[in-house]
Amino acid sequence: MLDFFTIFSKGGIVLWCFQGAGVTESFTGPVNALIRSVILQERSGNNSFTHEALSLKYKLDNEFELIFVVGFQKILTLTYVDKFIDDVQLHFRDRYKNELEQKGALKLLNNSFEFENDFKMLLREAEDSSKARSPAPMRSFKESEKSQKTVKSMIETKGGDKGKEQGGKKNKNTKKEAPAVEPAKGDQGKASSSGQKMAENGNQGLTADEIMQKKREEFFRKRMVGTTEKPSKSPKPQKPREKQMRVWDMGGNSTKDLDYSERNGDGSTNGGEQNQEAQIDLGMQPSSMQGDLPSVDYESSEGEEMEDEDEEVVVSETSKTSSKKGGGFGGMFGMLKGLVGSKSLSQEDMEPVLEKMRDHLIAKNVAADIASQLCDSVAKKLEGKVMGTFTTVASTVKQALQDSLVQILQPKRRVDILRDVMEAQSQRRPFVITFCGVNGVGKSTNLAKISYWLIENGFTVLIAACDTFRAGAVEQLRTHQRRLNSLHPPEKHGGRPVVQLYEKGYGKDAAGIAMEAIAYARNQAFDVVLVDTAGRMQDNAPLMTALAKLIAVNMPDLVLFVGEALVGNEAVDQLVKFNQALADHSMSDKPRLIDGIVLTKFDTIDDKVGAAISMTYITGQPIVFVGTGQTYNDLRSLNARAVVSALMKA
């Protein structure tokens, strides 16, 4: 029934393995896929993983740094696997405890783990227990709740109905009645005692529900009497604030202040405009961006100091309260209250800390589902781990979560666009990058920033205007092209413009324009082709089909998803549906999905950087560029540790 079972350390040393009868394929492929896709990417909250035709279940032993993996055909439903893997873990730990406590890879390699007989015995017991467990038998009629009811309990008597109607009428009358005069204080005791007697006499023949209803009405009547005594003062109506006029910085009080026609020297308006443009150009001249992009920096020292102060305050408060209660030793016990002394962590110990961490991540704009999965993964990673003597649970969980977030944000593969462009140059072909994303996230603006960065590094760029839907999209790219060519005049590059725009107007097929642009770039020896596509919502099936067609036909070297840092849960939906559409509408067995992410508007979010975590966690792809402003220089690469420190800031 089982294809394989393997036990290996987190360092990659296989301690023991088993292969089922008739299984010839090696289990290294599925296990390596599990390590790459789940364990290294902090997705171990769920203990199952599917690879091709196999279903894998695994369990982490954090005390001895072991991983137990079982594999079987996914068409089978084996109910005993979860209990079986737990039994194997406990049995293996108990038997080889002394060998496992010896740290070091060489000592593990020198030891021999003979576990074949024990494993077969546990497997036989698990299979027998699953066969012996018969389905639950149906209950007979005598055992059901319906058989307990008698015929008498189902019949409603007329007297009971009349009583209910009378009770209902009484209740209606009592609602209308209201006490006219408040009784004197001296008569309150007599009235209450007589009222109790009247209530006892009046409650005869009423059901428990009707008595309860009467008591509620009396209670509300007394409250109404109490409230009528206190006259309520009506609040004075506040005057609405008048809207103040906005004063613009360069606004001027009269039309003469706004007339610049006579201040240009020659009096001509055209010359004045040219001079103004020249002045703006000199003032807005971007700095050089040769080489690799600078990384995003974030100062988190203040936040960490604040957190340390908070922890000290908590410790001091607990010590004060405990010293009041327990005398001189109370302060010491209060300080040591949150410390763990050489014990293994359990789920109950971590639950309150993880709950706070989950809320903190959601407040920092991480999608709610991903925050829960991250906390579950950290819990799985720490459960059973033996802590040091002077270590708090909160600091341990926080450090583990921090390491997990850094691991997620660090790229799993090499991302070096300059090197890839040079490699394409050696093959005498252009390097093609396609930009896709939803509406209004800044695809065209960041395409222009990347163009400027590539030009600064000595490459020629062809921009393919494949957004044939939005009005003004082609004109926007033409403006960027003119501006970039003014920053890098053709005279400095042998009379050839470093940026050209390839456009065919509006309403045309985007995939055809991209194909023609790539062919034109190959003929004219352009180094890079940047394909700008129309913004589309992830739910728009026709536009998603057109995007999948563009990518499938032209096969670009890099597909970048442009997403803004302002989104929260929406980032998950966007990326999942974009990837799903590219997979569904592709014509090949191995479809091209999103290769990287451009995170825009990063300068608008302060420390709420959770969208970076959400996007990277969903796709498993790196953040290649980060947009931090509106000028051509505002392009950065991601610094994982800076983003995580901003994310963990209080």
User: Which has more confidence, 139 or 490?
Assistant: 490
Query: Rounded to whole angstroms, how far apart are CA atoms 643 and 608?
Result: 9
- Name the packing angle between helices 473-487 and 443-456 (round to 10°): 20
What lies within 8 Å, CB to CB, of 275 at 6+ separation is 264
- Our CA dihedral for 511, 517, 523, 526, rounded to 10 degrees, sits at -130
What lies within 8 Å, CB to CB, of 242 at 6+ separation is none
Q: Which residue has the tokens 């790459």?
A: 36
* 189 phi-psi bin (left φ>0, alpha ψ -120 to 50, beta other): alpha
| Buried/exposed code over 562-582 (b: 16+ C-beta within 10 A; e: otherwise) | bbbbbbbbbbbebbebbbebb
Tell me what the mean pLDDT of segment 79-108 comes to. 82
Contact by Cβ (8 Å): 78, 3: no
What lies within 8 Å, CB to CB, of 125 at 6+ separation is 87
What letter would DSSP give residue 9? E
Q: What is the pLDDT of residue 109?
A: 73
DSSP 410-466: S-SS---HHHHHHHHHHTTS-EEEEEE-STTS-HHHHHHHHHHHHHHTT--EEEEEE
* pLDDT tens track for 362-372: 999 998 989 99
Tell me what the mean pLDDT of segment 64-90 comes to. 88
* pLDDT tens track for 516-538: 999 999 999 999 999 999 999 88
* pLDDT tens track for 457-474: 999 999 999 999 899 999
201 burial type by CB count under 10 A (0-12 exposed, 13-18 middle, 19+ buried): exposed
Query: Rounded to whole angstroms, how far apart are CA atoms 163 and 157?
Result: 10
pLDDT-based confidence at residue 483 (cuts at 50, 70, 90): very high
144 burial type by CB count under 10 A (0-12 exposed, 13-18 middle, 19+ buried): exposed
pLDDT-based confidence at residue 342 (cuts at 50, 70, 90): low
The CATH code of the domain at 417-641 is 3.40.50.300
Asked if pLDDT for residue 271 goes beyond 60, the answer is no
The CATH code of the domain at 4-130 is 3.30.450.60
pLDDT-based confidence at residue 315 (cuts at 50, 70, 90): very low
Helix (H) or strand (E) holding 530: strand 528-533
3-state helix, strand and coil shares in percent for the chain, rounded to the nearest 5: 50, 10, 35
pLDDT-based confidence at residue 561 (cuts at 50, 70, 90): very high
Query: Rounded to whole angstroms, how far apart are CA atoms 547 and 511?
Result: 8
Query: Rounded to whole angstroms, how far apart are CA atoms 536 and 61?
Result: 46
- Name the packing angle between helices 347-363 and 368-382 (round to 10°): 150
- Compute CA 283 distance to the chain's CA centroid, rounded to the nearest angstrom: 41
Asked if pLDDT for residue 560 goes beyond 90, the answer is yes
Please report, for the chain, the start and end positions of each structural domain, with discontinuous segments joined by +. Answer: 4-130, 344-409, 417-641
Give the 3-state secondary structure of residue 4.
strand
Asked if pLDDT for residue 356 goes beyond 50, the answer is yes
